[in-house]
Chain A
């Protein structure tokens, strides 16, 4: 599903050039659950953004679902992203002015689905995350764990093949964190590919494979033997 070859990402500002990624080679197959770990500032988010087609690498090749996307325009990337990739963020990133239901429905709007279809799918996704009873609430009225569950519902509502999660439990206490991790593991069970950035070894245990980044380089990649379910 994902092949990255010699990925390089350099941020240049007026004063300094930061090499966020250097020579990163990664391959991720359909159905995998991969965790990316590493100290703050080592380039985890940068890697995830490139995988999620939110950003272009400075150098190297990146193939997503068989398309070479390393040099596509923003517009082309947006088209490919639609419906294929779902994002989950540490800070949830729900739109405050929209209700739970409207937030979840949003990706379907951009896919141009009919109202009935949207309703059916969004409700199904909320049901799956046990958030139906909160469908008419606004994000500010929910706890962090609930907000993150809404965000997950939004990520999966369009049947995304790949879910990218950047520290999804980072803002949650351990109970809520575990809840979220269970949901992700379940999704993976049902066939969704998941790539997750995390600081927590406990969360990483849910993954099949852990990639350790340090200073923009892949340090080790190890398969987890008996990972939790």
Chain B
């Protein structure tokens, strides 16, 4: 019996090649999208699960609302970890990480800038599963100036694996002895360190006991069965016992007063395996994933598959007249209904299987592209994960069942006498089909609307007046390496015609550069109860404002004279407003000084006179408000920034590099363009836009394939009617509109369903941005006209063919 079904299926597929193509190809695309997304989701969900004790590890996060700035930190204070381990039996172990930025790592003549480098407690190998290949994990990081490095870095610097006992020189300053080599950390991890430096090296800060400064990523290994929520209760007594005394010392007030003044401080535990998808705090190790995107892409993939299944259902029921005869015959020969149901399911399963094989091929072909778009590293290792393989198999089975269900039930229900009467007059049961078409096009439209809004917002960001000029600006990194040649470097290049101006500063209005905030208040007010604000403190020179194209709207810029403007500040409008200065220039603001260990000294205050107001400029993502910022005259030698001539970027770059090699021999030269750095802040939005674009193309292609098939069928069914109409004098245009009209109506209905849904969803998405575009009429106009044009082309392809056919032929064949 199965062979009989198989034969019928294959012969039918062969006979109706275009239907088969639409079905198999559509399902293959649907399945391929699902598989790719499953790989992506599996990868996202696998983060940090390779740590054997992952379910017992949690990170301490700090939430601080103080003087108008709210910080959600992935870090906490230095003493937090050791204190918790010491005071609570539930804490089996803890490890702290303290990044100190990038280092230049030297071995002999090789000197390379390394980013994945961190100070770590020696317990790192106990808490996390990081297999040590050479050296002793227990003792590796106990001593100052010792380091553990990854296998690939060992190979990179020494060309061999076992380099225990060798040394590396950091920033040409400190030599670290290598005590252990560990397996490279897997990519699906929220941190990927290549170098672990012993925390003991940095013992002053690590043991400083300052609770109010939060610079340490702290992970607890909890005893089996510890309830995180219950454990968090302990933070109350931690605050009381340890934090409050320092708060009193610093502000003169206790926790209660602190909170009454509208401030707050609390700590939370984040389960390790939740960090990647659920945590988006300040000072994450790297940009995390986003559970919403996991949902979004899963949803889109599911829709693609559903649309392909709908094509399958639509086309097979459209062809039911043909199949009905077979059903009638089989029934009259003794087939039971359930056998027919079985037959049609066998068919859809087989088709689905073909599609699956093609899908596997498509996945292989498109995965690198998708990995690139989504910024993940995906591999088709289907058997690595049992959930993955069972999910894929279930999806294939469900697809087969789903797409076979409607034809199986509908066709097997035909009454043989009706069908066998000779010419079977099949009353078009097209309502169901129309509903499915409307569904397909509504989904397509919602996706298109989404895509248009995302792109409109990205464009809005590009065109937003930022308050500074990001074009033609080159940032030369690590300017401090020029040491005493810095000024000469700048001067020499400014003599060249390509360079218009230049400034030296560590601070830039894009992410990835220094940020530094401190609390200020107007002179004479109470720092805690009164008018205070946290303020970005940026140390810049007098060329900063002109080079970056910022605008002074009141007062003046810093003057060129060395040593002048020592206690002055240029504020942005945000702070001037916040402090309510009527005429800010000349007013004085005050702050604490800071001790070398990072704690605050509230005895010695510093005062700054406002000399100018700079027009607000965006220095963080447009998702955030412009917060108070002050430019202070002072040395911060992170970067030299050059404004260049538009035409000569490549000449300028080679001059920058050549001069660098002369003046900082042996030091690596690195640079970036300010506008690239700006774009990077919206990388995740750009990625989503690209992915949604790819998916929407697929969705539209599949919906159109279905429409194409249906209109072909409808034209075929109406050949005779069209023939008669032509004989009676109808013209081609009339006939095209006759055949297309019904479909266009469906597309219009889809539009009215999709528009409000799309509007609602995208309105929600836009709330993420403080500075946002509006979803205008244009979005709906473009999406509506676009889809109608696509649909008309798809449909009229067939109807024009039908209309042009010679009527004599179609009438004779009846």
Contact = CB atoms under 8 A, between A and B. Distances in A.
Given A93-B325, A98-B7, A111 B420 contact: no
A75 B7 contact: no
Given A93-B325, A95-B329, A102-B4, 11 more contacts: A54-B332, A54-B415, A78-B334, A78-B337, A91-B422, A93-B329, A95-B8, A97-B7, A97-B11, A110-B334, A111-B334
Contact of A94 (B11, B329, B417): B329
Nearest to B422: A91
A166 B326 CA distance: 18
B334 A83 contact: yes
B334 A81 contact: yes
Interface in A84-132: 87, 89-91, 93-95, 97-98, 102, 106-107, 109-111
A74 B337 contact: yes
A89 B420 contact: yes
A23 interface: no
B51 interface: no
Interface of B: 1, 4, 7-8, 11-12, 15, 325-326, 328-337, 339, 415-417, 420-422
A81 B334 CA distance: 6
A97 B332 contact: no
A106 B333 contact: yes
The 7 lowest CB-CB distance pairs between A and B, nearest first, are A82-B334, A97-B11, A110-B334, A107-B333, A49-B417, A87-B332, A54-B417
Identify the interface centre among B11, B333, B339, B421: most chain A CB within 10 Å of its CB.
B333
B334 A97 contact: no
B320 to A, nearest CB: 15
Interface in A35-58: 45, 49, 52, 54-55
B336 A75 contact: yes
B421 A45 contact: yes
Contact of B337 (A49, A75, A83, A110): A75
A209 interface: no
B7 A93 contact: no
27 contacts: A45-B421, A52-B332, A54-B331, A54-B416, A54-B417, A55-B415, A55-B417, A75-B336, A75-B337, A78-B334, A78-B336, A79-B336, A90-B422, A91-B422, A93-B329, A93-B332, A95-B325, A97-B11, A97-B12, A97-B326, A98-B4, A98-B7, A98-B8, A98-B11, A106-B329, A111-B334, A154-B333
A98 B8 CA distance: 7
Contacts of A89: 420, 422
Contacts of A93: 325, 328-329, 332, 420
A89 B325 CA distance: 12
Contacts of A94: 329
Contacts of A78: 331, 334-337
A78 B332 CA distance: 8
A52 B415 CA distance: 13
A25 B326 CA distance: 33
A110 B417 contact: no
B7 A102 contact: yes
Contacts of B422: 89-91
Contacts of A97: 7-8, 11-12, 15, 326
Contacts of A55: 415, 417
Contacts of A79: 336
Contacts of B7: 97-98, 102
A111 B334 CA distance: 8
A102 B7 CA distance: 10
Nearest to B421: A45
Contacts of B15: 97
Tell me the interface secondary structure of chain B in the complex.
helix
Nearest to A90: B422
A94 B420 CA distance: 11
Nearest to A83: B334
Nearest to A154: B333
Nearest to A52: B332
B331 A106 contact: no
Identify the interface centre among A90, A95, A102: most chain B CB within 10 Å of its CB.
A95
A54 B326 CA distance: 15
Contacts of A82: 334
Identify the interface centre among B329, B330, B334, B339: most chain A CB within 10 Å of its CB.
B334
Contacts of B333: 87, 106-107, 110, 154
B429 to A, nearest CB: 16
Contacts of B1: 109
Contacts of B328: 93
Nearest to B332: A87
Nearest to B9: A97
A120 B8 CA distance: 22
A194 to B, nearest CB: 16
Nearest to B1: A109
Given A54-B416, A97-B12, A106 B4 contact: yes
Contacts of B332: 52, 54, 81, 87, 93
Contacts of A98: 4, 7-8, 11
Contacts of A91: 420, 422
A122 to B, nearest CB: 12
B417 to A, nearest CB: 5
A74 B416 CA distance: 11
A90 B331 CA distance: 17
A90 B325 CA distance: 14
A66 B518 CA distance: 102
A59 B105 CA distance: 98
A95 B422 CA distance: 13
Contacts of B331: 54, 78
A130 to B, nearest CB: 22
Interface string A147-162: 0000000100000000
A10 to B, nearest CB: 15
Contact of A109 (B4, B417, B420, B421): B4
B220 to A, nearest CB: 66
A49 B328 CA distance: 12
A87 B417 CA distance: 12
Contacts of A81: 332, 334
Contacts of A87: 332-333
A98 B15 CA distance: 12
Given A78-B335, A90-B422, A93-B325, A106 B330 contact: yes
A102 B333 CA distance: 13
Identify the interface centre among B11, B15, B328, B332: most chain A CB within 10 Å of its CB.
B332
A79 B331 CA distance: 11
A97 to B, nearest CB: 4
A110 B8 contact: no
Contacts of A83: 334
Contacts of B421: 45
A90 B326 CA distance: 16
A93 B417 CA distance: 12
A36 to B, nearest CB: 16
Nearest to B15: A97
B700 to A, nearest CB: 33
Nearest to A46: B417
A98 B11 CA distance: 8
A82 B12 CA distance: 26
Nearest to A74: B337
Contacts of A109: 1, 4
A45 B417 CA distance: 9
Contacts of B416: 54
A110 B339 contact: yes
A42 to B, nearest CB: 15
B16 to A, nearest CB: 10
Contacts of B417: 45, 49, 54-55
